[in-house]
Chain A
């Protein structure tokens, strides 16, 4: 696949409002920076091939290529992506208690991986008020400080780029699906850097239907709630249809309909609900706010999960059939909607030389999903 540069990144992504602000292009160089949830290019860059374009999850992605690279098979459109076991889980007693979004599976896994030396640093997402703040953590005890979901898009991967600059080479990342896609692109060394070695030791992906635009959410919420008093934000599984905002003064509920207006358009082009390019993916479990759904995709993911369970960091159980069915239905729905939209916009498998696609995938998989 041909690699382009920053000008095409501006053209394909930033100018089309497709940027989700994942941070993959931040700190690679002096030009791209993130501020208050928005990615800005400070000065023009004249290079025709750049890592910024190559790593961005919203520039052309060849799903077959990536799938082959990480899972040894072409992309088949499975609603949950390539995967091994799907279970339910929560943090084990060995990890201790804390404030988690759900079962604390993510925090327990990251803390365990740091403890055991599977990873030498963890890229997590902290917050300042409601602003998500990328954080590089090396002390397992600091993992808890970054627990809980920040429902706005976060430039988390800027901390990954900084970690690489600082020389870490077994980095663990907790990533949303788009961030996970960027990590996968980066790990496949698209710009063919000579002495490239994969610096990522573990990717724990989060499930995601959408994330909010920070500036829009900030303006919306500041009018209603004292942002400094917010302790946690939660979106309980359907059919609740609300966003719960916990503050030091109590809980407030906002109808999801109002919140959905703050979702950037780019999320509606996203085909991935379960972070398909991670080692382990984690989401909530309907009906059980204290538990997670967990999907294991790679061998190293499986090893860590097994060991964490053995050592009491993680408690696993089988997933109820109806939960799994509903998960697959929801994940497939997201794919279908996004692909239909992208296809309508002429962004899938374009064959003209000079026109870049948004996604490339084999026509069979495409047909399976859209059918």
Chain B
């Protein structure tokens, strides 16, 4: 049994933020959960999928975030509490539906959990989900610690039910992935019956039709819901103040920045001079509450990550209240005290406070900083981002790169989001020349492929993972085929959503709950769409390269090349070597003309190590996965592979 469903009230566990949210949802009796994998959000649906069977919850990994939200909405419409989870940019994908859902309202409690990634630790953007709450006019909650993450998650369902409106519970990487102590509440005894009532009066929120029209009526209702939320937030226990009655400086913050701010105040020993207003309900802001605290002082600092969302909203209120509370001085993003880019940490907040109050304090003295830097440089091996040993992407991009170089017409690759985004770096031979959102490489390629009439004659490739194919790649492919665009889409099929931890997707025979489900054959789909389809094993370098050259010479239509090879880290492959690799040191050319270390200088599988003293290459047997690919890139035949014999029982 998972500890997440321990029903001892008062039990205490060390939980990751994402698990706290899950526990809160379980305590709220969530029945439907859907999401699309994306760091730092993935553990939410993953944890729910593990307890789904026992707790009688329907859990799915949907094809994309929009569909996930739609699936969850159906639960709410049918009277089941539901949740959908995604990373920050997933909200963009779901936002069209979100706008309309906010208009129609919900029935049983429905919560959307976006996990933002300030500092883009595992993203290619620093997108903000908070603005969506304001944009589509729904309430926004932000937990400030791990206990709150659980409690707030539970409360979010109740709030949603009270308002009949979807509620956004926003987390960030440092909240989702860090851990803290959480005291459990009770799990409800569930006994629900799902039914979608739609035969009542059309405008009836519980029995009418679910739609955002008539717009003036529904939109008015939506704003009434927001007003109600504002009132509820006035007395919400998740908004807390800590500090003197008349502080010299009032810090207003939320989310993980609460922890940084608290630490900063304590480091500087300013408990008696600086007040901390921690908001759990950040949209809409409760005006009375803010008035009370803004009146305490004239100097206000807003501590938040990335964009000045809180800062703007507080400033608007302060401007409106100015006749009563007086003119305030604000510190934060706009005056440059708090950076608009990247994550915050206690040091940044310490420096901001010290500067504002004219305290001579450096979070990290220069001397120490220099020393630390020196030690870090000398002591740690330089590690660049790279594909894992035995990764099929390295082999795929090797062939793609070589095919384009041989072709010599300045061909390029449009990519999107997945492990293969790394191919913008030398580990993928710098092949990717565009990367944006999920599936966008193929959409961009579809556009490039129509520019022939303007003299465009460079070969175009797009790459897309198998999971990404279903997410949004497929619609780009439909577009391309229909408009007779001309390019080659390479589907890097490693049989799973590898980047985020092998979540199942429609190409696989299993779903999030472990049930057997029909799989969708990418090859057949592409063929049915009218593309010319080839399937190759990327570990067969020469065959793959030849095929790519043939496909990019084809001046008509859309070609699809499926490069199929399971991810090196996949549970099926892990620990099982296909080949035992050795290097014949007598033959190895090393840095001499004839090789110049193509294996460790260019190909750079981490399983290959350059022995500086002996001037030969070595295999790192611990990390080599025995894929055998490097044997085919060695010009001298120094890298030998021998089949690992199957054990005879």
* Chain B residue nearest to A44 in the complex (CB): B602
Of the listed stretches A34-42, A226-234, A288-296, name the one at the interface; the rest are far from the partner chain. A34-42
In the assembled complex, the CB of B637 is this many whole angstroms from the nearest CB of chain A, namely 9
B596 touching A46, Cβ below 8 Å? yes
Residues of A within 8 A of B549 (CB): 35
Residues of B within 8 A of A169 (CB): none
CA gap between A31 and B589 in the complex, in Å: 14
B596 touching A42, Cβ below 8 Å? no
Residue in A29, A42, A50, A52 whose CB lies within 8 Å of B405? A42
CA gap between A60 and B132 in the complex, in Å: 66
A35 touching B596, Cβ below 8 Å? no
Over the window 522-552 of chain B, the binary record of Cβ atoms lying under 8 Å from chain A Cβ atoms (1 yes, 0 no) is 0000000000000000000000000001000
In the assembled complex, the CB of A19 is this many whole angstroms from the nearest CB of chain B, namely 11
A35 touching B635, Cβ below 8 Å? no
A47 touching B596, Cβ below 8 Å? yes
* Chain B residue nearest to A51 in the complex (CB): B593
Q: Does A259 reach chain B (CB closer than 8 Å)?
A: no
CA gap between A125 and B99 in the complex, in Å: 67
Q: Does A49 reach chain B (CB closer than 8 Å)?
A: yes
Residues of A within 8 A of B407 (CB): 35-36
Residues of A within 8 A of B405 (CB): 33, 40-42
Residues of A within 8 A of B595 (CB): 29-30
Residues of B within 8 A of A45 (CB): 596
Residue in A33, A40, A43, A47 whose CB lies within 8 Å of B602? A43
CA gap between A50 and B408 in the complex, in Å: 23
Residues of B within 8 A of A51 (CB): 593-594
A30 and B633 contact, Cβ closer than 8 Å, known pairs A35-B407, A35-B549, A40-B405:
yes
The contact size tier of chain B is 10 to 19
Q: Does B215 reach chain A (CB closer than 8 Å)?
A: no
A29 and B593 contact, Cβ closer than 8 Å, known pairs A42-B402, A43-B598, A43-B602:
yes
Q: Does B316 reach chain A (CB closer than 8 Å)?
A: no
In the assembled complex, the CB of A144 is this many whole angstroms from the nearest CB of chain B, namely 28
In the assembled complex, the CB of A223 is this many whole angstroms from the nearest CB of chain B, namely 13
Number of A-B contacts (CB under 8 A): 49
Residues of A within 8 A of B66 (CB): none
A42 and B633 contact, Cβ closer than 8 Å, known pairs A28-B593, A35-B407:
no
Q: Does A298 reach chain B (CB closer than 8 Å)?
A: no
Q: Does B406 reach chain A (CB closer than 8 Å)?
A: yes
In the assembled complex, the CB of B120 is this many whole angstroms from the nearest CB of chain A, namely 30
Q: Does B393 reach chain A (CB closer than 8 Å)?
A: no
CA gap between A35 and B406 in the complex, in Å: 6
Residues of B within 8 A of A29 (CB): 593-596, 598, 635
B408 touching A35, Cβ below 8 Å? yes
* Chain A residue nearest to B407 in the complex (CB): A35
CA gap between A38 and B591 in the complex, in Å: 27
Instruction: Report whether over half of chain A's contact residues are helix, strand or loop; otherwise say mixed.
Output: loop
Q: Does A333 reach chain B (CB closer than 8 Å)?
A: no
CA gap between A270 and B429 in the complex, in Å: 36
Residues of B within 8 A of A36 (CB): 406-407
CA gap between A42 and B596 in the complex, in Å: 13
Task: List residues 253-272 of chain B with CB under 8 A from any CB of chain A.
Answer: none
CA gap between A52 and B598 in the complex, in Å: 16
* Chain B residue nearest to A191 in the complex (CB): B593
CA gap between A113 and B594 in the complex, in Å: 30
CA gap between A174 and B443 in the complex, in Å: 50
Residues of B within 8 A of A47 (CB): 591, 593, 596
Q: Does B164 reach chain A (CB closer than 8 Å)?
A: no
B408 touching A30, Cβ below 8 Å? no
A42 touching B406, Cβ below 8 Å? yes
In the assembled complex, the CB of A128 is this many whole angstroms from the nearest CB of chain B, namely 13
A42 touching B408, Cβ below 8 Å? no
B594 touching A28, Cβ below 8 Å? yes
Q: Does B401 reach chain A (CB closer than 8 Å)?
A: yes
In the assembled complex, the CB of A38 is this many whole angstroms from the nearest CB of chain B, namely 5
Residues of A within 8 A of B596 (CB): 29, 31, 45-47
CA gap between A273 and B112 in the complex, in Å: 78
Residues of B within 8 A of A42 (CB): 401-402, 405-406
Residue in A33, A35, A43, A49 whose CB lies within 8 Å of B593? A49
Residues of A within 8 A of B635 (CB): 29-30
Residues of B within 8 A of A52 (CB): 593
Residues of A within 8 A of B598 (CB): 29-31, 43
Over the window 341-365 of chain B, the binary record of Cβ atoms lying under 8 Å from chain A Cβ atoms (1 yes, 0 no) is 0000000000000000000000000
* Chain B residue nearest to A38 in the complex (CB): B408
CA gap between A47 and B633 in the complex, in Å: 19
Q: A28-B594, A42-B401, A45-B596 given; name 14 further pairs at CB < 8 Å.
A: A28-B593, A29-B593, A30-B598, A31-B596, A31-B598, A33-B402, A33-B406, A35-B408, A35-B549, A36-B406, A36-B407, A41-B405, A43-B598, A46-B596
6 tightest CB-CB pairs across the interface, nearest first? A35-B406, A30-B598, A30-B635, A43-B602, A40-B405, A50-B593
